[in-house]
Amino acid sequence: MRIHAALDSLIELEWRVARLYTRFYRRFCDLPAVAGIWWEMALDEHEHVGVLTMVKELADPKGRVADIRHRLRPLQDAINACERAAAKDITLSQALAMAVHLERSELDRLGRETVQAIGGDLPPIPRSAFAPHEAHLERLMRTVRKFGGEDVARDAWDLRPEARLRSRGPLAGRPSRAGTGHAGKGKGRPRPEKG
């Protein structure tokens, strides 16, 4: 696959997620406790658009990278579904659930891997490009716990840095299911298993 085609596809998806978060900011801007998280998340996605655009400017237009179309399709489907749902009058809990779903997707990982695959042909790119933004994710977690409801909070549990590190193991491709590993722990915020 041409490098520029891969980057164009990733840029479009990151831009659409940024636009979705901007829409959520507009929808919930009258709630100061959550408006800031939507603003930050939209900025984060716009930053990814900027990184990918810069890499495209630096990359050889004739260069090639592994075909990522099969990995793009599920992301496109997820973003399409979120955009359709967001076009209706959604609740804060629904918006947070969409954000959790998108943040748990492999969009950022795919962008990072594509940039790394191109890497040899580029000037050194700062390590901070596509680095996880821990403060941003922690704030999303707090917002989800406070406003998202128990099911959204269970799904968001995998956004913690420690959980993401564990998820890079042999089961990294498997999505977590609400309730797994937390049965009988009580209501409210899910807790990590001991042992």
Supply the DSSP symbol for 192: P
First vs last C-alpha separation in the chain: 45
- Token readout for 142 is 């707090």
Counting every residue written for the chain, the total comes to 195
Mean pLDDT of all residues in 111-131: 78
CB distance 60 to 3 below 8 Å? yes
pLDDT score recorded for residue 159: 54
Lowest mean pLDDT among 23-32, 49-58, 94-103, 145-154: 145-154
pLDDT tens track for 130-178: 666 666 667 777 777 777 666 666 655 555 544 444 444 433 333 333 3
Give 128's pLDDT tier (boundaries 50, 70, 90): low
Give 119's pLDDT tier (boundaries 50, 70, 90): confident
Helix (H, G, I), strand (E, B) or coil at 60: coil
| C-alpha to C-alpha distance for 34 and 121, rounded to whole angstroms | 41
- Among 19-28, 56-65, 117-126, the range of highest mean pLDDT: 19-28
Neighbouring CB atoms inside 10 A of 127's CB total: 7
Task: Tell me the backbone φ, ψ of residue 174, rounded to 5 degrees.
Answer: -90, 130
